[in-house]
Amino acid sequence: MVGRQGQTDEKMRPAVDRLSVFWSTPSLKAWALVWLGFAFLPTTINAFALLTEYQRTNQDIPAWEPFLREYSSGVALLLVLPLVRWSINHTPGWSEAPLRCAVQFLGTALVFSTLHLAAMTVLRMAAYGALGQSYAVDDLRDDLPYEFRKDLLTYLLIVLVVVGVRHLIRLSRSLALVEAAAASAAAHASEGQAPPAVAAEPTRIELKVGSRRVYLAPADILLVRSAGNYIEVVTAGAVHLVRRTLADFQAELPPPSFARVHRSHVVNRGAIVRIDNRPSGDMDLTLTNGATIPASRRYKSELF
């Protein structure tokens, strides 16, 4: 008996491991919470409310029907959540391009509502068919204006909540850094020691480009990337090919201003205008010159 139990545990372990990896991914965990808050909980409450209303008015409705109708909407919302995530990650901020931001969000909201209603209808038709009944599409057609307004409101609320939470997380990280610096300064002051000196940033960096020597201010460097036995030092107006290793060159750059974000990329923090998260935990960084570079999750602690 014990042996069979052990074999069962061994068979279940891969599935448990996959589930653990899935849930440990921050972006998936966050979007699972979004679905619970905006789909599963509201649809459950609505289903019980409809069931109570049917019973109060003595309507002859099967007890399962309110749950089928509401949960089909919730599952359909789960299917279209990737579209909401994509729109949040690929729409410029209001301060950058307000017109494009408004148009893109409005267009995505229309697509979101269309896909949600289509998926919900397909799910209901399949479920009713499996139960040997037919789903009256005409009922949904009469409710289209109401469903459309509800979808627009749901989409807007999801966007506002997700964007707001992301801003709060960034703010909390910034405050944590400030508090850590203040605590460090206070600790040194209480011990009668001077705070650790911050190394002055170099005024310029020398590059040996072939037979020439080029001098750049660190602030002018947007990106340094590995290119075989060379590195490419990217500025707003040029790309300089230098025979050096990436690690050796990074040692000359001021640490507060530059961060290693990939095994092949060092980026100027001030040149980053946008960060898009991938499902894998990696990121795409958009720079002031319009270039997009990959950032590995392994270096996330150096970037933030």
Q: Determine the pLDDT at residue 93.
A: 64
Q: Residue 283 is inside which H or E element, if any?
A: strand 283-287
End-to-end C-alpha distance for the chain, whole angstroms: 52
Helix (H) or strand (E) holding 266: strand 265-268
Contacts of 75 (CB under 8 A, 6+ apart): 119, 123
- How confident is the model at residue 16, as a pLDDT? 47
Which residue type, as a one-letter code, is found at position 288? T
Q: Residue 171's pLDDT is what?
A: 67
| pLDDT at residue 21 in the model | 42
Better-predicted residue by pLDDT, 120 or 146: 120
Q: Answer yes or no: are the C-beta atoms of 135 and 122 closer than 8 Å.
A: no
Domain layout of the chain by residue ranges: 2-171, 205-303
Q: What is the DSSP letter of 231?
A: E
What does the buried/exposed string (b/e) look like for 151-161 if buried means 16 or more CB atoms within 10 Å of the residue's CB?
A: beebbeebbee
Nearest Cα residue to 128 out of 72, 74, 78: 72
Per-residue pLDDT at 95: 59
Q: Which of 103-117, 182-196, 227-241, 273-287 has the lowest mean pLDDT?
A: 182-196
Asked if 295 and 285 count as a contact pair (C-beta separation under 8 A), the reply is yes
Helix (H) or strand (E) holding 242: strand 239-242
Cβ neighbours, 10 Å, residue 271: 22
pLDDT of residue 231: 92
Give the model's pLDDT for residue 184.
66
Cα-Cα-Cα-Cα dihedral sign, residues 140, 146, 148, 150: negative
Q: Which CATH number fits domain 205-303: 2.40.50.1020, 1.20.120.1200, 3.40.630.30, 2.60.40.10?
A: 2.40.50.1020
Q: What is the pLDDT of residues 129-174, one digit of tens each?
A: 888 888 777 666 777 788 888 888 888 888 888 878 767 766 665 5
Higher pLDDT, 3 or 60: 60
Given a cut of 60, is residue 193 above it in pLDDT? yes
For residue 108, which amino acid is it? T
- Position 20 scores a pLDDT of 44
Q: Does 55 have pLDDT greater than 60? A: yes
Percent of all residues in the chain with a pLDDT value above 70, rounded to a whole number: 76
d(CA 70, CA 72) in angstroms, rounded, equals 5
Sheet containing strand 272-277, edge to edge, reads 272-277, 283-287, 292-295
Residue 79 pLDDT > 50: yes
Q: Is residue 6 pLDDT above 60, yes or no?
A: no
Cα angle 96, 102, 106; round to 5: 150
In the DSSP assignment, the letter for residue 297 is G
Q: Is the model's pLDDT at 290 over the cut of 90?
A: no
Is the pLDDT at 198 greater than 80, yes or no?
A: no
In this structure, of 2-11, 240-249, 257-266, 287-296, the range with the lowest mean pLDDT score is 2-11
The answer to whether residue 101 scores a pLDDT higher than 60 is: yes
Q: At what angle do helices 2-24 and 26-35 cross, to 10 degrees?
A: 90
